[in-house]
Structures are given as structure tokens and as C-alpha cells.
Amino acid sequence: MQCWQINEYGEPRDALKLADKAVPVPGEGELLLEVKVAALGLPDVLMCRNNYLFSPQLPFTPGQEVVGTVLATGENCTTSVGSRVMAVTAFYNGHGGLAEQAIAIDASAFAVPATMQDAEAAGFTIPYHTAYVGLVTRAKLNPDETVLVHGAAGGSGIAAVQLAHALGARVIACASSDEKLQLCKQSGADLLINHRKQTVRDAVMEYTNDIGVDIVYDPVGGETFTDSLHYVASEGRVLAVGLASGEWGQASTGLAVIKNCSVMGVYVGAYGPDHMSAAHAHLMALYGEGKIAPAVDQCIPFSDVARGLQRLADRQVRGKLVVQIA
Ligand SMILES: NC(=O)c1ccc[n+]([C@@H]2O[C@H](COP(=O)([O-])OP(=O)(O)OC[C@H]3O[C@@H](n4cnc5c(N)ncnc54)[C@H](OP(=O)(O)O)[C@@H]3O)[C@@H](O)[C@H]2O)c1
């Protein structure tokens, strides 16, 4: 079967090569999928650069999430052959979704409603489940709170904007261009901050009458995260989600003490099937009511994967970039 493979680390445009490899065999709790559409995410870029916590050994096929049809199942799976599912792949074993066939984790596979397009379903699971874990499970968001989202037009960020808005919060979106912020506005953001034109701290304090925000959702890390402790409110929560900037931020314990605020890690992969199923049911109900809807930047052909992932690395994507495979 055809796949994209990383044989040597580098930028996506150089590291990704088209290859032929044997169809992988699903192990216990795993599914073999015929991939219809795969979604790209920054972790795929970080895997190309060998800067990802769960990078597989070389050579490997990246691609963390897909929509596809189940061709075969390993032992102890609950999903049936023939089902159309959205799922997280076993990318960490080298069998990611940028391939004609991929291995998916049975516990992360959910039936796709007939009304949902493949392009929407492909990039649903990781961004919305992460937003759910961060905002609902960890931060216990109250409807009257204010949530600031960094990297708000990115794959993770836009899901958090939509979910926070759907749950009744006031949403502040931070992004690097007015075009990106336009998508955030369409997704329910109340205040838009272009961090290349405005100082985030000043804009937040002005909007909140010097109180600060209740929750910061941060997939960016670095200075962005570190600065967030200056404008989180008393008893607020700063959620460390990712390191799109290339590095984790540093939290000042002194500021956390003075503000009675919390710094929380958010890792969607740590939650088991029961939590995932309950979160998924809640998320699909919101999707059914039209309150959340995956923002697809573009659906690109399989042959364009290296160029597409480089666009993502270069911060030129709004929402999710997805790949038509079958
Ligand atoms: N904790 C979890 O369970 C979990 C789950 C999913 C993802 N993540 C992590 O979240 C992070 C974001 O992933 P994603 O797929 O949402 O990424 P994405 O779609 O590329 O969005 C990331 C956003 O970060 C901003 N950014 C700031 N500095 C950047 C840089 N140097 N390079 C690229 N983007 C930069 C960009 O926004 P502007 O251009 O507007 O500034 C970009 O839109 C990754 O580190 C990923 O591993 C964590």
C-alpha cells in the first residue's frame, strides 16, 4: 500500500517521502482501517522534527487521526468490520493515518453520523476531546466565565473557542492575523486579539476591567504561556495544552500564590474509554445541535501531504487541514 513515510528527520517538505509498505496487522485492541480522510496536526510536524514526546522509531508513517472503514479487527475489539469510524491511529507504533490503510485504536473509534462529512469527522476526535478535557474535566468551566484561547485559529484552538462558546463562556481569541481572527469570530469569539499588533496583557486587562480571565487555554507554550500568569484572574486556571512555539512555558510559583490560581496540565491520551465515551456523547450532542462544527481549512489530495504539512508548520492554516485518501 502507498503511504507517506519519514526515514530521516527534518522539515515536513524534506522529511516526508512517498513509499510502498506492507499492510500492517492489527494487534489486540486495534483495528485495520481503509483510510478515507486523514487530518494533519502540529504533532505530525513535531514528529518530522523529532521534537514530539511520543515520536515513533524511524522509519514511520505519521498521521494521528482519520476517518475510515474497518477492514479487520484484532482481539478484544468492540467495533465491527464494515463500520465507518473516526479514530485515533497507532501512530506511535509507526502505522499512522497518512496511508491507504492504517491501524487505529478500538477504544478511540466512534461511529460517524450519516450527516457528518468525512472531512469534518477526520479531525474531530483529538481537538474536541482535548478541549473537553481541558475546559470541562480539568478547569470545570462555569458558563459565566471568561476563557482566553491562544493559537485560537489552530486545530486545537478553534475547537476550544467553539466549545467554550457552546458552554456559555465569554471567549477571547488570540491569533497572529486578522484573517485567522475572522474564523475565531465566526466560531463564537467575543474579543479578538491580534498578538502581532496588540499587547495581549493590556487588551485582556482592559476588556476585563483589570480582573483578568478565568481560564487560559494554551496550545502554544513558551513566552505565551509564561505571560498568561500575569493576566489570569484570582482563582483562575492556566491550562498547559501544547508547545506549538517549540518549547514549554515556565510558571511562576510566586504569581500562582499571590493570585490563588492553578496551573493545570491537559493530556487527552491519559483518559480511558469510559471518560472518552461520555465526553464524545456530550460533544456529538453539541455537534447535532449545531453548536460546534469542525472548521476545515482545505481538503488536499494525497499527493500534496508534504506541501500541506509544511503550510501547517509555517502557520498558514486556519482550523484543520485534511487529506483525501480514498
Ligand atoms: N495535551 C494534549 O492532549 C494535546 C492534544 C492535541 C494537541 N496538543 C498540542 O497542541 C499544540 C498545537 O497543536 P495543533 O494541532 O492545534 O497546532 P496548529 O493547528 O498548528 O495550531 C497551533 C497554533 O499555534 C500558534 N503558534 C505559535 N507559535 C507557533 C510556531 N512557532 N509554530 C506553529 N504555530 C505556532 C499558531 O497560531 P498563530 O499563528 O495565530 O499565533 C498556530 O495556529 C501541539 O503542541 C500539540 O502537540 C496537545
Q: Among 125, 183, 315, which is best to mutate for testing ligand 1, by the most ligand atoms less than 8 A from CB?
A: 315
How distant is the alpha carbon of residue 286 from its chain centre? 18
Q: Whose CA is nearest to atom 44 of ligand 1?
A: 242
- Number of CB atoms found within 10 A of residue 206's CB: 11
Grid cell, residue 320, equals 484543520
Are the C-beta atoms of residues 39 and 65 closer than 8 Å to each other?
yes
Q: Whose CA is nearest to atom 35 of ligand 1?
A: 244
**In this predicted structure, what is the pLDDT of residue 53?**
86
Judged by DSSP in three states, 8 sits in coil
Complete domains list, the chain, with CATH: 2-124+295-324 (3.90.180.10), 126-269 (3.40.50.720)
Q: Tell how far the Cα of 153 is from the centroid of ligand 1, in angstroms.
A: 9
Are the C-beta atoms of residues 264 and 239 closer than 8 Å to each other?
yes
> Which residues face 216 on adjacent strands?
148, 238
Q: Tell how far the Cα of 245 is from the centroid of ligand 1, in angstroms.
A: 7
Q: Whose CA is nearest to atom 28 of ligand 1?
A: 245
Residue 160, ligand 1, Cβ within 6 A: no
Residue 248, ligand 1, Cβ within 6 A: no
Residue 240, ligand 1, Cβ within 6 A: no
pLDDT tens over the chain, length 326 residues: 999 999 999 999 999 999 999 999 999 999 999 999 999 999 999 999 998 989 899 999 999 999 999 999 999 999 999 999 999 999 999 999 999 999 999 999 999 999 999 999 999 999 999 999 999 999 999 999 999 999 999 999 999 999 999 999 999 999 999 999 999 999 999 999 999 999 999 999 999 999 999 999 999 999 999 999 999 999 999 999 999 999 999 999 999 999 999 999 999 999 999 999 999 999 999 999 999 999 999 999 999 999 999 999 999 999 999 999 99
What 8-state DSSP symbol labels residue 22? Answer: P
Respond yes or no on whether the N-terminal peptide bond of residue 24 is cis (omega within 30° of 0). no
Measure CA of the first residue to CA of the last residue in the chain; give whole Å: 12
Amino acid at 149: V
Residues ≥6 apart with Cβ < 8 Å to 236: 212, 213, 214, 215, 216, 259, 261, 262
Residue the block writes with cell 487560559: 216
Are the C-beta atoms of residues 325 and 35 closer than 8 Å to each other?
yes
Judged by DSSP in three states, 281 sits in helix
Residue 267, ligand 1, Cβ within 6 A: yes
Q: Tell how far the Cα of 155 is from the centroid of ligand 1, in angstroms.
A: 7
**In this predicted structure, what is the pLDDT of residue 238?**
98
**Pairing mode of beta strands 110-111, 101-105:** unpaired
Q: Tell how far the Cα of 281 is from the centroid of ligand 1, in angstroms.
A: 25
Exposed (0-12), middle (13-18) or buried (19+): which is 179, by Cβ within 10 Å? exposed
Q: Whose CA is nearest to atom 17 of ligand 1?
A: 42
Q: Tell how far the Cα of 72 is from the centroid of ligand 1, in angstroms.
A: 33
Are the C-beta atoms of residues 67 and 121 closer than 8 Å to each other?
yes
> Which residues face 149 on adjacent strands?
173, 217
Q: Whose CA is nearest to atom 10 of ligand 1?
A: 242
Q: Whose CA is nearest to atom 43 of ligand 1?
A: 154
